[in-house]
Amino acid sequence: MSQTPDSAVRTYIADHRAAFLDDLAEWLRIPSVSAQPEHADDVRRSADWLADTLRRTGFPTAEVWPTKGAPAVFAEWPSGDPDAPTVLVYGHHDVQPADRADGWGTEPFEPVVRDGRMYGRGAADDKGQVFFHTLGVRAHLAATGRTAPAVNLKLLVEGEEESGSTHFRALVEANADRLAADVVIVSDTGMWSETTPTVCTGMRGVADCEVDLYGPEQDIHSGAFGGAVPNPATVAARLVAALHDEDERVTVPGFYDGIAELTDAERDLIAELPFDEEEWLRTAKSHATAGEAGYSTLERVWARPTAEVNGIGGGYQGPGGKTIVPASAHLKLSFRLVSGQDPYAIEAAVTEWITARIPAGIRHSITWGAPTRPCLTPLDHPALQSVVRAMGRAFGAKIRFTREGGSGPAADLQDVLRAPVLFLGISVPSDGWHSPNEKVELELLLKGVETTAYLWSDLAANWPRPAAAGDPSARPAT
């Protein structure tokens, strides 16, 4: 297949830009706040609106998929080419709560275009980033003269991302056949900055637990008994303190097993980014960096696993003092995981490590939440190469690489569908996700459109064709 001509794509986008922005504004007017029960109808309305719009875009199939919570939207547009790769695009149509009184300059659900930006809740997170795929596929068809995309294109747009994706994994598992894909492209992230376009190649996973420690059967007098019985708050603190060594490495045996160390090439790519530590600390609202010896801040956040105390509590926490040995103490721990770590192996290792450290006279329990796996797509993966080329053409700039330190439902897609996950996002840090005056930069939004217009052709052209049977290198590993 030939490359899509850039000029044809740009002309098509310029011609349809106004209608595209009008449609996005109409969607933003639906306050699809999934966390607020009073907006349940709006979330359903948002799903219906999107399914209609995807049908109008040309998707032969566009369905609203109910869940036990808010509905998702699924759409599918087959390529017609039996050898074409299948791409699943992920996004979400629900939004964070928003109230004018929180500091919005305009009504959050009355989108306004000003100074090249569209302001409104969901403009960047995530309706804008879902929506660039609609004009993108139309531009792709117009510029190539095709009647169907060069790839088998699927979209899954969930309705509960902002309220915990509670039913997402079950939805994916129940529909794994229809969602099956060679690669997943998540459009729910951002780029480094307006001037440094980037593609994200992975997210950390997470395993989290609560550790409950019980000592005396009730709070007891620290004068009468203190110094002669074990104190569960002390035990909790000692567990936390023992989790790291002096180099801030996690001490749980086996914790780092299976992790591929960062290569020099990967470290160079991270070091290329124009990282400003002062600015990063302002974003982190923190006053110093810290962490595992031998790694930079970005390496620590993106490429290294952690053990973090999310909460600790035990004994008296009110005003003044109370001379007790507390009856119990509680820890909330979470472990960010990177590629190569299996959450269940980490859970087992941490459980064993904690259990071995519980002294006589202290009872304990450990409760694990549902883990999220890490995901990381290798830099030489053909889909990643396609995304980089497509973005490079759209942005006219070198595309660099980032990762996400957080964890998300994308990992469920990777996990259930056994497909690599890439992150194609055009949002920038100033877009104000979850904050008042959320906006999207229109120029970047249209670069997103343009990227996908190139991407499907590039992916189809460069995807490894099926090889002779028995050749295990025919498809990229997931």
Per CB under 8 A, contacts with a second copy among 113-132 are: none
CB of 288 to a second copy, least distance (A): 3
Asked whether the beta carbons of 215 and 326 are under 8 A apart, the reply is yes
Phi and psi at 27, nearest 5°, equal -65, -40
> Should residue 18 be labelled a site residue for a second copy when binding is judged by CB under 8 A?
no
Residue with Cβ nearer a second copy (99 or 308): 308
Residue with Cβ nearer a second copy (124 or 239): 239
Site string for a second copy, 239-278 (x = CB under 8 A): xxxx-x----------------------------------
- Single residue of 5, 60, 369, 466 touching a second copy by CB under 8 A: 369
How many C-beta neighbours within 10 Å does residue 222 have? 17
> Should residue 358 be labelled a site residue for a second copy when binding is judged by CB under 8 A?
no
Residues counted in the chain: 478
- Single residue of 314, 374, 409, 420 touching a second copy by CB under 8 A: 314
Token duo for residue 140: 């792709």
Contacts with a second copy by CB under 8 A: the residue count is 80
Residue with Cβ nearer a second copy (55 or 244): 244
Q: What is 457-477 written as a DSSP string? A: HHHHHHSPPP-STT-TTSS--
In order of 269, 425, 429, the CA distances from 272 in angstroms are 5, 20, 18
> Should residue 103 be labelled a site residue for a second copy when binding is judged by CB under 8 A?
no
Angle of CA points 138, 144, 149, to nearest 5°: 55
> Should residue 436 be labelled a site residue for a second copy when binding is judged by CB under 8 A?
no
> Should residue 317 be labelled a site residue for a second copy when binding is judged by CB under 8 A?
yes
Considering only residues 283-302, where is the footprint of a second copy by CB under 8 A? 284-292, 297, 300-301
CB of 204 to a second copy, least distance (A): 6
Phi and psi at 192, nearest 5°, equal -60, -50
Asked whether the beta carbons of 126 and 155 are under 8 A apart, the reply is no
Residue 105, classified by CB atoms within 10 Å of its CB into exposed (0-12), middle (13-18) or buried (19+), is exposed
Asked whether the beta carbons of 223 and 381 are under 8 A apart, the reply is no
CB of 365 to a second copy, least distance (A): 15
- Single residue of 178, 267, 332, 400 touching a second copy by CB under 8 A: 332
End-to-end Cα separation, the chain, in angstroms:
25
- Single residue of 334, 339, 427, 437 touching a second copy by CB under 8 A: 334
Distance CA 36, CA 34 (A): 6
Region near a second copy per CB under 8 A, out of 60-68, 105-113, 323-331, 456-464? 323-331
Distance CA 297, CA 277 (A): 8
> Should residue 316 be labelled a site residue for a second copy when binding is judged by CB under 8 A?
yes
> Should residue 443 be labelled a site residue for a second copy when binding is judged by CB under 8 A?
no
Residue with Cβ nearer a second copy (97 or 291): 291
Distance CA 457, CA 407 (A): 30
Q: Helix 382-395 crosses helix 442-462 at what angle (to 10 degrees)?
A: 140
Asked whether the beta carbons of 196 and 392 are under 8 A apart, the reply is no
Q: Helix 127-144 crosses helix 6-28 at what angle (to 10 degrees)?
A: 150
Q: Tell me the one-letter amino acid at 370.
A: A
> Should residue 393 be labelled a site residue for a second copy when binding is judged by CB under 8 A?
no
Q: Which of 248, 73, 91 is nearest to 162 (CA)?
A: 91
Chain center to CA of 139: 27
- Single residue of 136, 159, 326, 420 touching a second copy by CB under 8 A: 326
Q: Among all chains, which residue has been given the structure tokens 């591929």?
A: 260
Site string for a second copy, 172-211 (x = CB under 8 A): -------------------------------xx-x-xxx-
Considering only residues 216-235, where is the footprint of a second copy by CB under 8 A? 216-218, 220-231, 233-234
> Should residue 357 be labelled a site residue for a second copy when binding is judged by CB under 8 A?
no
Residue with Cβ nearer a second copy (256 or 392): 256
> Should residue 351 be labelled a site residue for a second copy when binding is judged by CB under 8 A?
no
- Single residue of 124, 181, 329, 391 touching a second copy by CB under 8 A: 329
Q: Among all chains, which residue has been given the structure tokens 């566009």?
A: 62
Considering only residues 402-421, where is the footprint of a second copy by CB under 8 A? 404-407
> Should residue 212 be labelled a site residue for a second copy when binding is judged by CB under 8 A?
no
CB of 172 to a second copy, least distance (A): 21
> Should residue 323 be labelled a site residue for a second copy when binding is judged by CB under 8 A?
yes
Region near a second copy per CB under 8 A, out of 107-115, 253-261, 331-339, 450-458? 331-339
- Single residue of 53, 134, 306, 377 touching a second copy by CB under 8 A: 306
Token duo for residue 214: 């019980």
Q: Which residues share a beta bridge with 152?
A: 86
CB of 105 to a second copy, least distance (A): 23
